[in-house]
Amino acid sequence: MNHHRIALQWIAHINIFSILSIIISILAFSIGFYAFGKIKKTRSSFLLLCLCITIGIWVFASSFIFIADPETSVWFWYYFQSFGFVPMWPILIHFFVSIAELDSTKGKRIRIGTYQLYLNGMTAFIAAQYAVAIVLHSAILLGYAEPRLYEMTPLGLRDTPAMHRPWVQFFTFMNLLWYAEGITLVTLFWIRAHRKNSSLDRRKQSEVITITGIVFGGITLTLNIILPMFGLPIPAFGSIFIGIWILCIAYAVSKYNFGAQDEQVIGQKAFDITDEPMAVSDTELNLLFFNRAFINSFGDPKAMGKLRIYDLFEPSDKKLVPADFRTDGIIPSLRIINPAGQKRVINLQTSCIYSENLLDRIFFVFSDVTEIAHQKEMLEYLVAERTAEINRQLAITEKYTRPSLVQVIQSGGDPTDFVPSSDELVIMFIDIRDFTLMSEKLSSSDTVKLLNSYFTCMNECIIKEHGEIDKLIGDAIMALFSNADNAVHAAINMIYKLQFFNESQKIVNSTIRNGIGINFGHVTRGNIGSKEKLDYTVIGDSVNAASRFESLTKRYGLPVVLSEEVISQLKHCYKIRFLDKVVVKGREQATSLYEVFDFNPSNLIDIKIRNQSELDQAFEAYTKGDFEAALNIYRPLNERYGTLDPLLGFYERRSLELLALQKLGKLERWSGIYQFTDK
């Protein structure tokens, strides 16, 4: 009970400052590690992490000081707090020196083992901060600078400084000095961040850090140092506000990607040593930077009084406006006079640099194309004439072969040099059902017209889904896809397109139907044929199987059949159901087949989904050889839905066929896998 009473008494003393302090300390630790993990690992980011850790310790200990016993436990938390409060100041000073880039001067190099140290005035200044902090912390731990006493106030405990002690006086003085140093460094950071050539990100960082620092730092100084000196009954809860400030610093650092100075230095070096003239302007097109190659090529703009980018160029027939320079792209054939008085033709490449979706800088690259410009004028007519003829020939060729081969030829390649290769592709076969009987009733011209109209519809679906038409075989199409989802989308769109095609075509009276078989697997890609005639195509067992699956659409009475290999490659969801497990002619391996039926009317989709569990039961009985049990399911389903779903009648007929063989003793070793002996 004593433990419970103590816990209840402790909870009863919790106040708003304790709760806020605990929350801010947790946020300080969390955001410190978050910012360190997000931004570039530099000295600034490491100092920020240390800063968040020390302030977290300080604020966490403060949460217990507010509610501690003034005679006993408060002193433990006072010493614990010192491990955060005292180291925080030199780390904070060091951090601001780093982000204000006041330590960029190397100074004298000192080697200590394998480590190199550069000694200068700023290094000594930072070292002095850490040395003073160590001395002060030692004095606190030895009891020389501890408060005179802690008093209970309505808002919590407050400390009364022992101002008569020299160490307390020195401690108070150093806090005031550190605050003054911090204000000075924050101001310097603001000034340097708002220089004309500073980035928008850097300005925003300085605004967040400086404004919040002055406000929250001033509140902390008043609450923790000044008011206790006058004995006012207010707890020293300024740690809450300094904790909020550190959170604001971490926010600014991670939000605006500060600390990645290594890339800036590398970029500046590359900018300086490149042989290509480059320049950077602000949003008003005032030149901020230009490299040595720029000065060598065009002279020093400042010396020539040309302070804006468009002042560099000679007036021409081009009506350029400032907006032209604020757009990513290339401004061709601008004329500029070099230091030798020669007119040069320049292609100006512009690249806009944004920060927070706001235009910050514009980067310019100057390419001297004077010689090319002269040659261009001489060659333009010949090139245009030759290009037109080549394009005419390629456009005709593209209609008779693959577009990808034409692209190879256009790029200067030779498809006949292609080395056979192995690849994994999705193969699709599409064939018109009963086209031979249909074409017997048509004239030759109507047959060609019908096929051309049909192929136009189907080929559009293939090309739209990034497929490639390998070949047209009579009324069949062989197509290749690198992505299974594209192939399935194309098949679904083909069924929809075929419906519209049947409504619009007037050549035949009957409805045209097709079957689509899709497979995925290894193929051999290469030139097949002889030196007189080559066909760049794919061959292999997967190709043959895709053709067999297309033929099976007639057996099942369904328009689209997919193999299990295709199903395993799909990343999107479709309406798919299992059809059969078969061995097609020419293969020894069994394959599971599936139907995609997204294109079915909504009522048929509902029927197929509703009947799926019964079909699974029927196929399980079918697989076990219990054909009578399978028929007891297939037959009623077929009687009810057979006119809409041909698969039900197919399985009723097959079950009857296999049951008859079973009764005659001609069905041995049945495993549920049906073997087709014809194509």
Most confident stretch, 67-76, 173-182, 239-248, 373-382: 173-182
The whole-angstrom separation of Cα 258 and Cα 253 is 5
Quick check: 101 pLDDT over 80?
no
* Per-residue pLDDT reduced to its tens digit, 380-411: 666 677 767 666 765 665 566 666 666 767 67
Domains and CATH numbers, the chain: 2-262 (1.20.1070.10), 274-368 (3.30.450.20), 415-599 (3.30.70.1230), 607-679 (no CATH)
Q: Beta-carbon neighbour count of residue 671 at 10 Å?
A: 10
The whole-angstrom separation of Cα 534 and Cα 527 is 6
* Per-residue pLDDT reduced to its tens digit, 197-209: 566 666 777 777 7
Quick check: 151 pLDDT over 60?
no
Quick check: 297 pLDDT over 80?
no
Quick check: 271 pLDDT over 80?
no
Pick the range with the lowest mean pLDDT from 246-255, 535-544, 656-665.
246-255
Quick check: 113 pLDDT over 60?
no
Pick the range with the lowest mean pLDDT from 36-40, 572-576, 655-659.
36-40
Query: Residue 108 has what pLDDT?
Result: 64
Radius of gyration of the chain from Cα atoms? 41
345 closest CA partner among 323, 325, 374: 374
The whole-angstrom separation of Cα 96 and Cα 189 is 7
* Per-residue pLDDT reduced to its tens digit, 328-352: 888 887 877 777 777 778 888 888 8
Pick the range with the lowest mean pLDDT from 240-244, 561-565, 649-653.
240-244
The token pair at 544 is 């043959």
The whole-angstrom separation of Cα 305 and Cα 299 is 11
Rounded to an integer, the average pLDDT of 154-166 is 58
Rounded to an integer, the average pLDDT of 20-43 is 71
The whole-angstrom separation of Cα 85 and Cα 239 is 9
Query: Residue 6 has what pLDDT?
Result: 44
Q: Assign 467 a pLDDT band (cuts: 50, 70, 90).
A: very high
Most confident stretch, 297-306, 524-533, 610-619: 610-619
Quick check: 592 pLDDT over 80?
yes
Q: Assign 1 a pLDDT band (cuts: 50, 70, 90).
A: very low
* Per-residue pLDDT reduced to its tens digit, 625-648: 999 999 999 999 999 999 999 999
